[in-house]
Chain A
Amino acid sequence: MTVNPVPPLTPAAFQVLLALAAGQAHGYAVMRFVEQVTAGTVRLGPGTLYRTIGRLLADGLVEEAEESDPAAPHDARRRYYRLTPLGRQAAKAEAALLQRMVAAAAQAGLLPPKELT
């Protein structure tokens, strides 16, 4: 909502922000990143990528990089995006929340022992 500057992030939105945290990337790279970081267990399809990036653009969490060709087709896979300062802030807040959740999961015995170190 316009009344809520940083809306709650969906898992797909967080994954896109995470993929862009190291620097600008095009949609194909974002899709590959998600597949690699989840060992192929999570797939971000082109329709979901397009909607998720559309939402992040509208909320001001990502922006198109200058390297994008304005005449390129409306295909999020081939356009370049980067985080805005608000997007970085939202991604940091979500990562900190997830870190607390993972620490609680480890304490509750939900993670294998090697993850406790």
Chain B
Amino acid sequence: MTSQRPMGLTPHLFVRDADGAVAFYRTAFGAAELLRNSLPDGRVLFIELAVGPARLLVSEETPSLGALAPPTIGGSPVLLHVEVEDVDAVARRAVDAGAAVEMPVQEMFWGERYGVLRDPYGHRWAVSTAREELTPDDIASRTPPDV
């Protein structure tokens, strides 16, 4: 019997102010809230979002569980990459909703229009739109000697 439960990789983000973060992801990336689980005191254990065809989990920072948000650890070592239809429109919405631009949207040698943002909760996002379908050899020949 085949289960229809979605398998695969799902980022799980810890934030200070889960409701605010979900509102931001809705505005910036069109995220839809699918499921929410809260403690009796109202603390959000997790919220499951759909972002395009992917899933995203968001939880309130809980130090006792080792669930630390970016401001607590002084940044984030992870870049979340989301491919969208119109990267410029998504980046504009994200910035209007409070994101900071780390790298402005621009044409990249691997065939994407691409930019990097930091959301108001400290998580880092690459947003991109594919422009050309390149082979690995094409990309290798366009790779700059240094970055």
Contacts and interface: CB of A to CB of B under 8 A. Distances in A.
Contacts of A1: 29-30, 51-52, 84-85, 90
Contacts of B30: 1-3
Interface string B110-125: 0000000000000000
Query: Main SS of chain B's interface residues?
Result: mixed
Given A3-B89, A43-B3, A51 B48 contact: yes
Given A2-B30, A50-B35, A54-B32, A43 B52 contact: no
A73 interface: no
A interface residue count range (under 10 / 10 to 19 / 20 to 34 / 35 or more): 20 to 34
Interface stretch (A6-14, A19-27, A78-86): A6-14
Nearest to B32: A58
Interface residues of B, number: 22
A42 B32 contact: no
Nearest to A2: B30
A89 interface: no
Contact of A11 (B4, B50, B51, B53): B4
A45 to B, nearest CB: 6
B144 interface: no
A42 B4 contact: yes
A7 B34 contact: no
A40 interface: yes
5 pairs of A and B residues whose beta carbons are closest in the complex: A58-B32, A2-B30, A12-B4, A54-B34, A3-B85
Interface of B: 1-6, 29-30, 32-35, 48, 50-53, 84-86, 89-90
